[in-house]
Structure 1
Amino acid sequence: MRHRMILGNITHAFEDGGMQRTVLDHLSLQVSEGEFVAVMGPSGSGKSTFLSIAGALLKPASGEVWLDGEAIVGKEKQALSDIRLNKIGFIFQSANLIPYLKVEEQLMLVAKLGDMDKAKANERVRELLLKLGLDHRRSAYPDKLSGGERQRVAIARALMNDPAVLLADEPTASLDASRGMDVVRMIAGEAKERGKSAIMVTHDERVLPLCDRVLYLENGRLIPQR
């Protein structure tokens, strides 16, 4: 089975009070297509650093990251920007929608940045909004949406350019239990149905049964759930 996301021997450190603190210590991870992995760990364990490196937002001190078979460490800034736009779908705990754009415009902007044909983009918007139960909200502005609806728009936006990898950072943090489960179920379904690799950083143990694997970030490395 193909691994769409691979991190190999990732090491990263930062200075803390004049001391070098290693947050990732030869961390390795392989996520197969169709697989949904949860990563847990206490505050300060390096989860944000891990996700930033996986998402091509931060260069590791050492190690390699492969995305859909392509090594990305050391690529130029513009190449990394293109990879983030077309190969990675980011879902954050805050939807981060643009307040002056309607729902469909949020998605069309991503398509435009990715140079998607307009007819194809319109069809993709229609498909995603129907799938996520948002078609009746396509002309609504973010301040008119519920928290769950805003998070579903954020998921649609992350899926717009059909990325190889989905990265979710605490996607249920601002939602109640029912809406949180719905959001994670959508991420899991997208990974399974379209053969994506999905990684979710979370503290929410209620959603773990929806994941294929649960890993804990301890002492800079990922270990399986005990």
Structure 2
Amino acid sequence: MRHRLILDNITHTYEDGGTQRTVLDHLNLQVSEGEFVAVMGPSGSGKSTFLSIAGALLEPTSGTVLLDGESITGKEKQALSDMRLNKIGFIFQNANLIPYLKVEEQLMLVAKLGDMNKAKANERIRELLHTLGLNHRRNAYPDKLSGGERQRVAIARALMNDPAVLMADEPTASLDASRGMDVVRMIAGEAKERGKSAIMVTHDERVLPLCDRVFYLENGCLIEK
């Protein structure tokens, strides 16, 4: 099984009060297609920095990130933006939906940004809304949705352009235990059924049995639990 995402010897430092602080220290990770991994660690351990680098939002100080065999390190801003739009799906702690767009419109906007033709976009929207149990909410605005529904819309939005990799940052933090488990099951199912790679940063130990591997970020390195 091929590795969809590879972080090779990643180091990231920044200046803090005139001194250099190392957040990630020669970190390595390989995630295969169909694999769902969790990353844990205390606040300030570098989890957000790690996810930002893995998701092409932040350039590492040194090292290489490869997505489907292609290096994303050192690419131009527009190329990185296109890659994030088409190959990486982000799911954040808060759904961050656009308040004046209905559920269906949230997804159509992503399709338009990715230059998807309308017929294909409508088909993809129907598929996602059915899979995520949101058909009856397609014309609802975000303020009319429950917390669990908003997070499911956020997942649908992340999946709209069929990305190779999913990045989830504390996706259960704003949900109760039952809804949180449902959301993580959806992420795990998408990885397994569609051959995606999924990485989740989390503090929620209840969802760890749904993951294939669990890592702890410690002293800038990932240690498998």
What range is the shorter-chain TM-score in? over 0.9
* Equivalent residue number for residue 122 of structure 1: 122
Q: Counterpart of 1:218?
A: 218
2:201 aligns to what? 201
Distance 1:50 1:79 in 2: 20
**Deviation at 1:16?**
1.6
Task: Tell me the amino acid that sits aligned with residue 207 of structure 1.
Answer: V
State the Cα deviation string for residues 153-190 of structure 1 (Å, max 9, x = none).
00000000000000000000000000000000000000
1:68 equivalent in structure 2: 68
Corresponding position: 1:83 with 2:83 = yes
Show CA shifts across 1:37-56 (max 9, x none). Answer: 00000011000000000010
Q: Residue in 2 aligned with 1:13?
A: 13
Match in the other structure for 2:151: 151
Divergent runs of 4+, >2 A: none
Unpaired segments ≥5 residues, structure 1: none
Q: Deviations over 1:9-57 (max 9, x none)?
A: 0000111222111000000100000000000000110000000000100
Paired-residue identity, %: 89
Distance 1:206 1:57 in 2: 28
Corresponding residue SS for 1:14: strand
CA distance in 1, matches of 2:14, 2:181: 35
Give, in whole Å, the separation in 2 of the partners of 1:161 and 1:87.
8
Residue aligning to 2:189:
189
Aligned residue for 1:112, secondary structure, equals: helix
What is the rounded CA distance, in whole Å, between the counterparts of 2:183 and 2:23 in structure 1? Answer: 29
- In the alignment, which residue of structure 2 is the partner of 1:135? 135
User: TM-score scaled to structure 1, two decimals?
Assistant: 0.99
Q: Measure the CA separation in 2 of the matches of 1:119 and 1:73.
A: 34
Return the alpha-carbon distance in structure 2 between the equivalents of residues 187 and 102 of structure 1: 23
Partner of 2:57: 57
Deviations 1:175-216 (A, max 9, x none): 000000000000000000000000000000000000000000
Gaps of 5+ in 2: none
RMSD over aligned Cα atoms: 0.4
> Per-residue displacement from partner, 1:50-107 (whole Å, max 9, x unpaired)?
0000010000000000011110101100000000000000000000000000000000
Q: How far has the Cα of 1:220 moved from its partner?
A: 0.4
For residue 60 of structure 2, give the secondary structure of its aligned residue in structure 1.
Answer: coil
SS at match of 2:80: helix
| Partners of 2:87 and 2:172 in 1: CA distance | 23
